[in-house]
Structure 1
Amino acid sequence: MKPTQKPANPNFSSGPCSKRPGYDITHLDLKTLGRSHRAAIGKVALERACVETAELLGLPEGYRVGVVPASDTGAVEMALWSMLGARPVDVFYWESFGQGWLTDVVKQLKLPQVNEYGADYGLLPDLGQANPANDIVFTWNGTTSGVKVVDGDWISDDRDGLTICDATSAVFAMEMPWEKLDVVTFSWQKVLGGEGAHGMLILSPRAVQRLESYSPPWPMPKIFRMTKGGKLIEGIFRGETINTPSMLCVADYLDALGWVKSIGGLPAAVAKSAQNLAVIEQFVAEHDWIDFLARDPATRSNTSICLILDLDAEQVKKVVKLLDAEGVAYDIGAYRDAPAGLRIWGGATVEKADLEALMPWITWAYQQVSQ
């Protein structure tokens, strides 16, 4: 039977992600529009974005938060180009974006001492291979594989190297061991459902020390430069952005942060995302034709939830198109480089009731295609 109840919000894309429940653009504080981001009003809004992010995430004393260009990609690139080369590097990857960082390290920066630790989609590499003497580059959550790091126990407390963590689909949805992480990046358009084009860069005191004590041998583009005269440009982490940001996007991000506060802060956002995963876990447990791409249940992502079906790739595409045509799920096909399947966003901006309404539609679409 074709289901009758549809999700109130069918936006399950893994980026840009669904807006928060109750979102209304007319409620944004738009006093900054048409004003310079260098003016006091612009600086205050940008500094709020940094300060409130740090407060909500519970960052340790001395950690800095900055708004940088080019989304999460720009934030990661800034870290790689500015800090790597001082030590050997261990790169851990198990999906498309992590493999992209490996490409940058090996083929663009051409670092001589790089250890590659990879795994196929659905698996994690052996994180125990991490060398405390080396810098480490990894994603906390594999956005295109639905496989996440379980914890930070594999990272040494006595490490000499830096940990550079792409956490764009993990921050505000998973518990992060901040003391283990020296550089963390994310973008507004992921877990908080913000707008694209801006990245967030979080630095530990150890990362700042690296920036102030090491100068890479290659030319540094202007938008990557975080030091001047051997000292950190502190203004970047007080809202004085490197280039011109969209103040409309900043207002949108501040609205998202306010929403997180209103629901109970970070613990509530993490719990909400975990509840969303539980809906899909129950559904998968009840149907033998669908499964998680992540092979170890402990590594299942609660944001980018990746599923495989006992259908071929063309049949999976038909399932995705059917759900789109019915207006019950948009943009849930697997990432282009990943195995054919579904990828359903389960971050806190997605309502549990909408996922519950979607599950019978997935059964219906599967039955239509597999007959």
Structure 2
Amino acid sequence: MTTRPARRPACANFSSGPCAKFPGWSANLMKTASLGRSHRSAVGKGRLRLAIDLTREVLRVPETHLIGIVPASDTGAVEMAMWSLLGARPVDLLAWESFGEGWVSDVLKQLKLRDARALTASYGDLPDLSAVDAAHDVVFTWNGTTSGVRVPDADWISADREGLTICDATSAAFAQPLDYAKLDVVTFSWQKVLGGEGAHGVLILGPRAVERLESYVPPWPMPKIFRLASGGKLIAGIFEGETINTPSMLCVEDYILALEWAKGLGGLNALVARANANAAVVQRWIDDRPFAANLARRPETRSNTSVCLALGDNQDVPKKIAKLLEAEAVAFDIGSYRDAPPGLRIWCGATVETADLDALMPWLDWAHAQASS
């Protein structure tokens, strides 16, 4: 039987969202002047604007693209984009895990678009990206958080496309480089790779998306929190720090703190390098264990943030492992997503320390031996 390890991770938070706070985080580091103030005050708008500016700097978002802070996390940002932009053209919907499947369901069952087709794949694979029609709009996740499968690049997106690309990048932003020349809409929540607090989303619009907003009016009623245009014009204030509804300035200050940490590390390249190093620790463990496999079958599509593990046919083993490790306080919240195949999901984003993953791996061996006996 495998010996019970002596070394423990300094931080046992390996949840895929909300994710671990960055190393050295403390609430005492946050600026507090905006707390208790109106978000529409000069102080409030200034801090929201700073969050937008730092987002642009760290993610290297081109000046051609607008950045707004919106309600309801990444889900809210994706829904705003779909409800505001879809219907002008046929749409291709890509899905290979639960969140992509959710967008397919919303377009087909809520918006009821007739000229829509779903291109799907099972957990572990990608749909045939070459089947996407450049004359169609396309909705897809860059990184499938619940399957650990990501698109390898944006080469499959035509530079001469007629349709819009709407990209849910919530567990890719800040950990994987995004090709903004190929992306007309990008959404994410800062509770993922930067370990921020929940309830807020970020919506990035390229010029082609803005042109659609100002030239097309959807045929369905538009809830207030989804409205991005008025009278045929973009509501520009959303992208200048004037939010649609009241944000939590505490969450905004926490986001600013995380952005400043990321900038201090060296920005996007440093964040990507940290996530890559973390995912490599888990992959080396997988490669050396005959009972383990990465749920993502092709190496080039394997996520460097939400790494999903398959552990054989016994569906009870992963659940037992997750419970054992939580009881030992060495890994919290690593069970697979409820709609995913049974397994483990270990967050490897930039706020996780590589040393903590190194310390976790022997515990996986110990827990697997216990759960399999």
The TM-score, its normalising length taken from structure 1, stands at 0.99
1:73-112 paired onto structure 2 within 5 Å: 73-112=75-114
Amino acid at match of 2:108: V
**SS, match of residue 361 in structure 1:** helix
Aligned counterparts of 1:368 and 1:140: Cα–Cα separation in 2 = 36
Aligned counterparts of 1:337 and 1:84: Cα–Cα separation in 2 = 27
1:194-343 paired onto structure 2 within 5 Å: 194-343=196-345
**SS, match of residue 20 in structure 2:** coil
- On the 8 A contact 2:68/2:238 being kept in 1, the answer is yes
Q: Which moved more, 1:48-57 or 1:235-244?
A: 48-57
**SS, match of residue 64 in structure 2:** coil
Post-superposition Cα deviations, 1:145-165, rounded to whole Å, max 9, x if no partner, equal: 000000000000000100000
Post-superposition Cα deviations, 1:180-237, rounded to whole Å, max 9, x if no partner, equal: 0000000010110000000000000100000000000000000000111110011000
1:19-168 paired onto structure 2 within 5 Å: 19-168=21-170
Aligned counterparts of 2:256 and 2:178: Cα–Cα separation in 1 = 21
How far residue 97 of structure 1 moved from its aligned partner, in angstroms, is 0.2
Amino acid at match of 2:64: G
**SS, match of residue 191 in structure 1:** coil
Amino acid at match of 2:305: T
Amino acid at match of 2:57: E
Aligned counterparts of 2:35 and 2:218: Cα–Cα separation in 1 = 38
Amino acid at match of 1:88: P
How far residue 61 of structure 1 moved from its aligned partner, in angstroms, is 2.4
- On the 8 A contact 1:165/1:184 being kept in 2, the answer is yes
Equivalence for 1:3: 5
**SS, match of residue 269 in structure 2:** helix
Runs of at least 5 residues in structure 1 that lack an aligned partner in the other structure: none
Runs of at least 5 residues in structure 2 that lack an aligned partner in the other structure: none
Aligned counterparts of 1:154 and 1:355: Cα–Cα separation in 2 = 33
Amino acid at match of 1:145: S
Aligned counterparts of 2:280 and 2:316: Cα–Cα separation in 1 = 28
The TM-score, its normalising length taken from structure 2, stands at 0.99
Q: Which moved more, 1:309-318 or 1:12-21?
A: 309-318
**SS, match of residue 78 in structure 1:** helix
Aligned with 2:174 (options 158, 172, 175):
172
How many pairs align?
A: 371
Aligned counterparts of 1:6 and 1:57: Cα–Cα separation in 2 = 33
- On the 8 A contact 2:308/2:345 being kept in 1, the answer is yes
Amino acid at match of 1:16: P
- On the 8 A contact 1:311/1:370 being kept in 2, the answer is no
Aligned counterparts of 1:206 and 1:273: Cα–Cα separation in 2 = 31
Amino acid at match of 1:79: A
Aligned counterparts of 2:207 and 2:58: Cα–Cα separation in 1 = 19
**SS, match of residue 115 in structure 1:** strand
Post-superposition Cα deviations, 1:41-72, rounded to whole Å, max 9, x if no partner, equal: 00000011111101211112220000000000
Amino acid at match of 2:143: N
Aligned counterparts of 1:97 and 1:287: Cα–Cα separation in 2 = 29
- On the 8 A contact 2:125/2:296 being kept in 1, the answer is yes
Equivalence for 1:353: 355
After the TM superposition, list the runs of 4 or more consecutive aligned residues in structure 1 that deviate by more than 3 angstroms: none
**SS, match of residue 133 in structure 1:** coil
Aligned counterparts of 2:318 and 2:158: Cα–Cα separation in 1 = 42
Percent identity over the alignment? 63
Post-superposition Cα deviations, 1:327-350, rounded to whole Å, max 9, x if no partner, equal: 000000000000000000000000
Aligned counterparts of 2:63 and 2:47: Cα–Cα separation in 1 = 22
RMSD: 0.6
Post-superposition Cα deviations, 1:67-99, rounded to whole Å, max 9, x if no partner, equal: 000000000000000000000000011000000
Amino acid at match of 1:310: G
Aligned counterparts of 2:97 and 2:283: Cα–Cα separation in 1 = 22
